[in-house]
């Protein structure tokens, strides 16, 4: 049963990924990418990482894809098509992709994977305690560093967005 | 429940295990699809009757007793209608868009505990899963607006995107405020906490009440209903993102809108009002009555949302965004802190 589900998900993801890079319509590529991301979430569900799967759905499928669709809506017209690349570029890209694929396959086939006997569902409570604990194996430092990074990104976005209105005395806002 | 248990045993005795579980899943999905369709149709009828009541009219009352068959007839008419589309529409995305909206709504439906036993999918991240699913639904609306190659549809879709992304925050945060009291995201455990200590809105008194108000405002905005229906503002945009849809495809969007309202009300029922629990435990020894209490509370909340719709005038887009980012969000964050403090100090009301 799980095997069948895995193969169905894998097939969807591979087909969607190929369609995503070959499609000449921008929004269609984005939607194929969405299918790939949902497929990844499905695989997380399959291995019982429920929380990670929901994060994948919220952040990637719900957040990033919506933003990408938004920017496509702003800059792209429905009749426009992406141009085809030159032959030389195509060949170089194909070689690069094949090399990358080769490296991946070689690594995967040279590693011995251990089969985990008893799969256990990670609960949200475990994740929360892990994120906020400062004992060994806790993630409080990376957690705090990421929040500082996000704050910096937000301030940067506000400054770029407001432009020189910040320096001038602007009493409209 | 006994019936489901009997069917389960009968299926597994009849077939090999894998087939039986697949058949079981399909059966559950079909049952939920039927609930989905019936609930959607009758909510449309309810909306029309409530609207008529607020406007001192009669509303649909000719087809069947008190117009009960009116929306069924409408649905039959929609099925028989011709499907039209614009010439240069992106056909693939145009046809795909309604399914995004419908499938996400259907997935969310499966999580609600109608009674203790009638609960299809009790995942341990319950509420978070609901929020994740509802954030995907907006993609359908964006796609519908873009692919129909119509400027009004496009503007409607853009507005919908802005609105849903903003108000999702408030929905999530106000639910998180309540999760602080339960200590679990799983819906069955949330109900269990309420079974022991009273409904969460009573347990958490002031902050819970604030969270409920914010949740209802944000929920109304997320379902794109008036007074936040800028997405399909009739006077300026035609019908918004589904201007170019006709027949059954239009009906999908229409049904999904009402089901989303049902979902928002159901989440509120589960998290704030104790899901299937009866007030003061008066029918505690008849578990089947849970369905009645659940649907009763949900319908009351739906009526509240309809009341909003026929009472308040529509907001402008800048007012909408100011309301979310300058009022609801800071209020929500402060409320979250207040609730955390209260839970820490043990100031919640316990029975």
- ipTM computed for the complex: 0.83
Nearest CA in chain A to B156: A73
Q: Are B113 and B184 in a shared domain? A: yes
Q: Are B154 and B297 in a shared domain? A: yes
Out of B135, B183, B184, the one facing A58 most closely (by C-beta) is B135
B185 touches chain A (CB under 8 A): yes
Q: Are B74 and B86 in a shared domain? A: no
Q: Are B202 and B69 in a shared domain? A: no
Q: Are A73 and A140 in a shared domain? A: no
| Strand ranges in chain B using DSSP code E only, listed in sequence order | none
- Domain enclosing residue B112, as ranges: 81-345
Distance from CA of A84 to the nearest CA of B (A): 20
In a domain, B161, yes or no: yes
Q: Are B1 and B20 in a shared domain? A: yes
B146 touches chain A (CB under 8 A): yes
Partner-chain contact B89 A78, CB within 8 Å: yes
Provide the 8-state DSSP code for A48.
T
Distance from C-alpha of B275 to C-alpha of B201, rounded to nearest angstrom: 12
Contact present, B277 and B240 (Cβ < 8 Å): no
Q: Are B34 and B110 in a shared domain? A: no
> Residue A170 above 60 pLDDT?
no
Look up the pTM and report it.
0.87
Q: How far is CA B221 from the centre of its chain?
A: 12
pLDDT in tens, A50-86: 888 888 888 888 888 888 888 888 887 777 777 788 8
Q: Are A8 and A64 in a shared domain? A: yes
Q: Are B165 and B133 in a shared domain? A: yes
Q: Are A58 and A4 in a shared domain? A: yes
Mean pLDDT across the stretch B231-257? 80
Give the total number of structural domains in chain B.
Answer: 2
Q: Are B178 and B288 in a shared domain? A: yes
Out of B58, B79, B100, a domain closes at B79
pLDDT for residue A172: 52
Helix spans in A1-86 (H): 2-22, 26-46, 50-55, 65-75
- Domain enclosing residue A147, as ranges: 122-167
Q: Are B249 and B270 in a shared domain? A: yes
pLDDT for residue B310: 87
Q: Are A64 and A132 in a shared domain? A: no
In a domain, A98, yes or no: no
In a domain, B351, yes or no: no
Categorize the per-residue pLDDT at A102 as very low, low, confident or very high, splitting at 50, 70 and 90. Answer: very high
Categorize the per-residue pLDDT at B335 as very low, low, confident or very high, splitting at 50, 70 and 90. Answer: very high
Q: Are B160 and B260 in a shared domain? A: yes
Distance from CA of A81 to the nearest CA of B (A): 12
Tell me the two tokens of residue A126: 């475990």
Q: Are B67 and B168 in a shared domain? A: no
Categorize the per-residue pLDDT at A171 as very low, low, confident or very high, splitting at 50, 70 and 90. Answer: low
Nearest CA in chain A to B130: A54
In a domain, A42, yes or no: yes
Contact present, A56 and A80 (Cβ < 8 Å): no
Give the total number of structural domains in chain A.
Answer: 2
In a domain, A115, yes or no: no
> Residue A14 above 90 pLDDT?
yes
In a domain, B42, yes or no: yes
In a domain, B329, yes or no: yes
Q: Are A5 and A71 in a shared domain? A: yes
Out of B79, B97, B112, a domain closes at B79
Q: How far is CA B30 from the centre of its chain?
A: 19
Distance from C-alpha of B149 to C-alpha of A79, rounded to nearest angstrom: 9
Q: Are B120 and B231 in a shared domain? A: yes
Distance from C-alpha of B296 to C-alpha of B291, rounded to nearest angstrom: 8
B129 touches chain A (CB under 8 A): yes
In a domain, B2, yes or no: yes
pLDDT in tens, B33-91: 888 888 888 898 989 999 999 999 888 888 888 888 888 888 888 888 888 777 777 78
């Amino acid at each position: 049963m799980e095997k069948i589900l895995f193969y169905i998900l894998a097939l969807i993801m591979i087909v969607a990924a190929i369609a995503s890079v070959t499609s000449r319509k921008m929004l269609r590529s984005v939607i194929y990418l969405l299918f790939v991301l949902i497929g990844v979430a499905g695989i997380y569900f399959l291995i019982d990482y429920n929380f990670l799967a929901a994060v994948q759905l919220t952040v990637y499928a719900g957040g990033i894809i919506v933003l990408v669709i938004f920017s496509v809506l702003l800059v792209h017209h429905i009749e426009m098509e992406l141009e085809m690349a030159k032959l030389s570029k195509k060949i170089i890209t194909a070689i690069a992709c094949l090399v990358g694929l080769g490296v991946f396959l070689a690594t995967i086939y040279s590693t011995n994977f251990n089969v985990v006997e008893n799969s256990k569902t990670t609960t949200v409570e475990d994740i929360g305690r892990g994120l906020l604990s400062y004992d060994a194996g806790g993630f409080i430092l990376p957690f705090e560093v990421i929040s500082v990074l996000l704050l910096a990104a937000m301030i940067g976005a506000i400054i770029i967005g407001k432009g020189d209105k910040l320096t001038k005395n602007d009493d409209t806002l | 429940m006994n019936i489901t248990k009997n069917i389960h045993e009968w299926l597994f005795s009849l077939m090999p295990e894998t087939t039986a579980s697949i058949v079981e899943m399909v059966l559950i999905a079909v049952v939920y699809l039927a609930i989905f369709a019936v609930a959607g149709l009758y909510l449309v009828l309810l909306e029309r009757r409530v609207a008529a009541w607020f406007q001192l009219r009669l509303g649909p009352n000719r087809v069947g007793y008190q117009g009960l068959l009116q929306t069924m007839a409408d649905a039959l008419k929609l099925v028989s209608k011709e499907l039209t589309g614009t010439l240069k529409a992106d056909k693939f995305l145009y046809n795909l868009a309604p399914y995004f909206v419908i499938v996400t709504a259907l997935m969310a439906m499966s999580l609600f505990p109608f009674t203790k036993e009638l609960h299809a999918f009790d995942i341990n991240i319950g509420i978070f899963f609901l929020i994740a699913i509802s954030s995907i639904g907006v993609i359908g609306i964006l796609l519908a607006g873009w692919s129909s190659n119509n400027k009004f549809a496009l503007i409607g879709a853009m507005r919908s995107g802005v609105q849903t992304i903003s108000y999702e925050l408030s929905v999530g945060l106000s639910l998180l405020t309540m999760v602080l009291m339960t200590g679990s995201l799983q819906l069955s455990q949330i109900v269990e906490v309420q079974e022991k200590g009273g409904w969460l809105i009573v347990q958490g008194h002031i902050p819970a009440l604030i969270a409920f108000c914010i949740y209802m405002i944000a929920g109304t905005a997320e379902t794109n209903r008036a007074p936040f229906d800028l997405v399909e503002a009739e006077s300026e945009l035609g019908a918004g993102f589904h201007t170019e849809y006709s027949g059954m495809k239009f009906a999908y969007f229409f049904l999904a809108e009402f089901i989303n309202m049902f979902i928002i009300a159901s989440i509120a029922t589960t998290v704030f009002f104790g899901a299937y629990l009866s007030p003061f435990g008066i029918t505690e020894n008849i578990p089947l009555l849970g369905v009645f209490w659940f649907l009763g509370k949900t319908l009351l909340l739906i009526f509240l949302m309809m009341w909003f719709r026929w009472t308040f005038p529509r907001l402008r887009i800048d007012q909408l965004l100011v309301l979310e980012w300058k009022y609801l969000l800071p209020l929500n964050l402060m409320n979250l802190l207040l609730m955390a403090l209260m839970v820490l100090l043990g100031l919640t009301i316990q029975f």
